[in-house]
Amino acid sequence: MTLARYNFISIEGNIGSGKTSLATRIAHDYNAKLILEQFEENSFLPKFYREPDKYAFPLELSFLAERYEQLKRSLSARDLFKSFTVSDYLIDKSFIFARKNLPEDTFGLYKKLFEIISDSLPKPDLLVYLYLNIDNLMHNIRHRGRSYEQDIKREYLEKIQESYLDFIRQKANMRILVIDTNDLDFVNQPTDYEKILRTISEEYPIGLHRISP
C-alpha cells in the first residue's frame, strides 16, 4: 500500500468520528507530516456549548483565524524528510460549522471573510470523510470524556452532519472519499485499520466516492 500518491490528505468527519486518531496514526506509520487542529486551546469553545447564541460569532471567527494561520504556516514549510502531509481538518470546516451556527445576517459577513482567506490556501489532493451515524458519534463523545463536550446535543450533531454532507455533494472539483466506518473500530482493531488504509491508498479520480470497507 502507498498513501504517498497524494501529497496532501485531509481527514474530516463530525465530532467524535475519530479523524484525529486516524490522522495521527497514519502520520506515525507512514512518516507523514502531521497537522492537527488546536481546538482545545480555544477559550470560546466551552462557552459556546453552554450558550451557543451568545458565543457563536467570536468562536467561528477565532477558529477561522487559527486554522488559516496554522495551515498557511505548515503547508508553506516543506519537510524534505516526510513522505506527504496529513491533517485532521479542512479549512472549509470553518464554513461548514459557521453556516449552521450563525444567523443569516451574521453568516453573510462571515462568508465574505472566509472566501478571501480560503482562496489563498492549497486544497488537499484527497479529502477523506469518516461517516458515523449519530448514535455512534454520541457514544464516542461520551467515551472519550472531554468535559466541555458533554453538553453537546444530538440535534447539534445532526445539523453538523447535514452541513458536511451538503458540502461534499457540492464539491465536484475535489477528490472526496466518504468511508462508512459504522462497522469498523480502526482505533482498537488492527484489521479494521488495515481496511481503512487499503481504501485510502487506492487511486481515485476527481469526484465523490462512497466506500463501505
For 84, the grid coordinates are: 506527504
Residues forming beta bridges with residue 128, ordered by sequence position? 11, 177
**What is the DSSP secondary structure assignment for residue 147, as one 8-state letter?**
G
Residue 19 zone, left/alpha/beta (φ > 0; ψ -120 to 50; rest): alpha
Active-site hit among 79, 88, 151, 166: 88
Q: Quick count: other Cβ atoms within 10 Å of Cβ 148?
A: 14
| Nearest by Cα to 27 from 82, 89, 91, 93 | 82
**CB of 65 closer than 8 Å to CB of 112:** no
**What is the DSSP secondary structure assignment for residue 188, as one 8-state letter?**
T
Element (H, E) at 77: none
Residue 10 zone, left/alpha/beta (φ > 0; ψ -120 to 50; rest): beta
What is the Cα gyration radius of the chain?
Answer: 17
Q: Is 105 a catalytic residue?
A: no
**CB of 165 closer than 8 Å to CB of 23:** no
Any idea which residues carry the catalytic annotation? 88
